[in-house]
Amino acid sequence: MTTSIALTIAGSDSSGGAGIQADLKTFAALGVYGASVITALTAQNTRGVTAIHDVPADFIAAQIDAVFTDLDVRAVKIGMLSQVAAIEAVADGLDRHAAHNVVLDPVMVATSGDRLLAANAVAALRARLIPRALVITPNLPEAAALLDRPVACDEAAMEAQARALLALGPQAVLIKGGHGKTRESVDLLVDAGGVTRLSAPRIATRNTHGTGCTLSSAIAAGLARGLDLASAARAAKAYVTDAIAGADVLEVGHGHGPLHHFHALWRD
């Protein structure tokens, strides 16, 4: 049996709903062995982020080297990188180990509204990491921030922004419509070959903490298992939709609760 291995490079969420914890839960739920490189520690719960402790860049590099020199990493998910030094350490590590199937989630703001990316780090993200990605997965506010444009309000504007992001160098862009107001939650996967529309019913719940982390790590899990990008994105969309639908049964915290990553495995 060949073990499919995916690596998450992201921040830790002390409440377990987002970041490294969400990524590892997603990998496990989807049959992939998960390794991790922690870039920051957050004091965080379902109500917000109260403190961030950044991991030194040299220690981020040491974690990357430890994983890649021993494990056969099939895909990499990148999440929270709050400082320029962390972005540079990760970019250099990806180059050093010729990493492939890189899924970059340009995390800027938590579900609670707390900022997770320093303002001066946006340019480094554009220049150092976006060109190294197989796919980037911005939500509507993140896409707008990366392009310094207004937030897209319809699918035509979403596609236009995705194409503008393609010009920054990734092979594909998955622009997520979860922040939209329509009855459907529509994501657009855009690459040189065209547009793939991914749609699901919008679910009425406040328990959406870690949705972006979960989607990007689910895509990485699919890639690690050998799926092509479009198939991995479709499977990830379906998994996240079901995890949101099952979120309310968990009753975790008093704010924006987490998704139910193990909705298909846990029994009442």
- Rounded (5°) CA angle 129-134-139: 75
182 belongs to the catalytic site: no
Q: 3-state DSSP: the chain helix, strand, coil percent, rounded to 5?
A: 40, 25, 35
Check 17, 79, 212, 257 and give the catalytic one: 212
Residue among 25, 213, 241, 257 flagged as catalytic: 213
Has 246 been annotated as catalytic?
Answer: no
Beta-sheet pairing, 75-78 with 102-104: parallel
Q: To 10 degrees, the CA torsion angle through 169, 173, 178, 181?
A: 90
Q: Is residue 46 annotated as part of the catalytic site, yes or no?
A: no
Which residue among 16, 34, 180, 210 is the active-site one? 210
Determine the angle formed by the axes of helices 57-68 and 84-96, rounding to 10 degrees.
20
212 is annotated as an active-site residue = yes
User: How many of the other CB atoms lie within 10 Å of CB of 65?
Assistant: 14
Kindly name the residue from 208, 222, 237, 241 that is annotated as catalytic.
208
> Tell me, what DSSP letter sits at residue 248?
G
Catalytic residue among 8, 42, 211, 241: 211
d(C-alpha 209, C-alpha 226), whole Å: 28
Q: Which are the catalytic amino acids? A: 176, 208, 210-213
